[in-house]
Amino acid sequence: MRTFAAAVLATVSSAKLLNSMDFEFVNYISKYGKHYESIDEYSLRFSLYRKVDMEIQRINDTERSSVHGHNHLSDWTAEEKSRLLGMKNVAKDPEFDTAKSHFTSENLAIPTSWNWVNVTPAVVNPVQDQGQCGSCWAFSATASLESAKAIFGGVLNKLSEQNFVSCSFLQGNLGCNGGMYGRAWNYAETHPIESEASYPYTSGTTTKSGSCMYNSSLGIQAVASWSTVGTDNTSIMNAIYQQPVSVAIEADTAYFQTYTSGILTCATCCGSTIDHAVTAVGYGMDPTYGGYYIVRNSWSADWGDQGYVNIGMADTPGICGINQYVAFTTTN
């Protein structure tokens, strides 16, 4: 039996029956492969889409440094979007007070811009999709750990986020209910992480943390130590030039969630109450809007600029709060 959405798509050939917003939404359904099971769900999703559309128009009318548009989140409820935000209790996280080392740096001779994504051979894996699980912290932790090995060890592994999600509860993480990359690295100091191939990610579709199925004989990469980074932009840029770093941001705003290109520069639009973990893989300098960080998200390549977002540089706490909880790991 066809879903209601499929029935609506069948009317595209009769577009004259639809107003412009109806037609845009039908195209949206087709583009992102959406499936609705009833007319009630269709009506709900359409109302959510219209609300986001109004936000997009408002932002684009007022902001000049960034462009905003629809993505696969445009028909999600607030509850569904909240499941993406898994950076929990970071303000009380003791790891950033008791980390084994702390990185600060003077203004060394680093290039004006740098992007680890453009390095050959590759040291950054493709953007992934965490799905309906608050596991952003695990994706940030693996991304930084993978790049550390690639840069300093010559091997780009694809590590298992599921290993962290299901197994690092004793370190203080809560699986799909949130966690912290520092706690994930604490786990990996004594539990070499398995590969994605041997321990595949399932929580994005099940929405469950899952029971720990760790097999130590399949562990391929461990953490040697990890360091926090100073909250000033000089220290952060110097750290990024060394290797990609894990960072935390506020990501619950339409300003962030509808980003498609440009640079996020509006501090009041984004906020600085941390709720999401990502990875800074580079930095740059725009002649009009100044310095910015190149950030890898975990909401699929359909989000943002092929999965990435440029976040402007500002004094601490930074745009979207990005300066507050910066850290990187060493590996063996």
Question: pLDDT per residue over 213-232, tens digit each?
Answer: 999 999 999 999 999 999 99
Beta strand 276-286 with 114-115 is: antiparallel
Report how far residue 265's alpha carbon sits from residue 259's, in angstroms, rounded to the nearest whole number. 12
CATH of domain 78-331: 3.90.70.10
Residue 9: pLDDT band (50, 70, 90) is: low
The number of CA neighbours under 13 Å toward the Cβ of 85 is 17
Q: Is a pLDDT exceeding 60 seen at residue 280?
A: yes
Residue whose tokens read 């399949």: 218
Which segments of the chain belong to CATH 3.90.70.10? 78-331
Report how far residue 206's alpha carbon sits from residue 175's, in angstroms, rounded to the nearest whole number. 12
State whether residue 286 is helix, strand or coil: strand
Report how far residue 136's alpha carbon sits from residue 288's, in angstroms, rounded to the nearest whole number. 31
**pLDDT in the model for residue 30:** 95
How high is the mean pLDDT of the chain? 92
Question: pLDDT per residue over 42-89, tens digit each?
Answer: 999 999 999 999 999 999 999 999 999 999 999 999 999 999 999 876
Q: At what angle do helices 20-32 and 39-62 cross, to 10 degrees?
A: 100
Q: Enter the DSSP assignment of 197.
A: T
- pTM for the full model? 0.93
State whether residue 34 is helix, strand or coil: coil
Cα–Cα separations (whole angstroms), residue 169 to 79, 142, 198: 24, 16, 20
Catalytic residues: 136, 276, 297
Q: Enter the DSSP assignment of 158.
A: -
Q: Is a pLDDT exceeding 50 seen at residue 12?
A: no
pLDDT above 90 covers a percentage of the chain that reads 86
Q: Is a pLDDT exceeding 60 seen at residue 91?
A: no
Which residues lie closer than 8 Å to 49 by C-beta, 6 or more apart? 25, 28, 70, 74, 75
| Closest C-alpha to 247, from 319, 163, 330 | 319
Beta strand 308-312 with 290-296 is: antiparallel
Q: At what angle do helices 181-188 and 136-153 cross, to 10 degrees?
A: 50
Length of the chain: 332
Question: pLDDT per residue over 205-216, tens digit each?
Answer: 999 999 999 999
**Is the pLDDT higher at 192 or at 3?**
192
Report how far residue 117's alpha carbon sits from residue 105's, in angstroms, rounded to the nearest whole number. 23
State whether residue 319 is helix, strand or coil: helix
Structure tokens at 197: 């191939």
Question: pLDDT per residue over 18-49, tens digit each?
Answer: 688 999 999 999 999 999 999 999 999 999 99
Q: Is a pLDDT exceeding 60 seen at residue 237?
A: yes
Q: Is a pLDDT exceeding 60 seen at residue 116?
A: yes
| Closest C-alpha to 270, from 310, 239, 306 | 310
**pLDDT in the model for residue 20:** 87
Question: pLDDT per residue over 244-259, tens digit each?
Answer: 999 999 999 999 999 9
